[in-house]
Amino acid sequence: MASYQLDIITPEGHAFNDTVTSIMAPGEEGFFGIFARHAPLISALKPGVLTVRTETETIFFAVGEGMLEADGENVSLLIEGAERATDASDAAAKALTMVHSRQS
């Protein structure tokens, strides 16, 4: 399967930098997917669950607000925070915590 480089950057530094086959991201208007050779795209992200697929595993992250840029070869996320989770429900709970702590 075709792949691309994914870089997740937070104020603390790189949260993830590896080759992936696809991601599912929480956009402002709903979730959207990015596969290899995606058309150039810039999108706002809202807090939620980011699903990352590699050749061998599926990884879940709780992510904060930010931006995504895809150029067909690479995808970069510049986000407030990213925390790796054990599964989708764990990521959703962590994302909810991020939202609540930001509002306090």
Answer for the pair 34, 49: CB distance below 8 angstroms, yes or no: no
What the chain holds in terms of domains, given with CATH numbers, is 4-103 (2.60.15.10)
Quick check: 104 pLDDT over 70? no
For residues 81 and 66, give the distance between their C-alpha atoms in angstroms, rounded to a whole number: 9
**101 confidence band (pLDDT: 50, 70, 90):** low
Structure tokens at 14: 């790189």
Model pLDDT, residue 42: 96
Model pLDDT, residue 8: 98
**91 confidence band (pLDDT: 50, 70, 90):** confident
Model pLDDT, residue 96: 78
For residues 38 and 84, give the distance between their C-alpha atoms in angstroms, rounded to a whole number: 24
Q: Could you report the per-residue pLDDT of 26-83, keeping only the tens digit for each?
A: 999 999 999 999 999 999 999 999 999 999 999 999 999 999 999 989 999 999 999 9
- Better-scored residue on pLDDT, 91 or 59: 59
- Whose CA is closest to 63, among 4, 2, 11, 1? 11
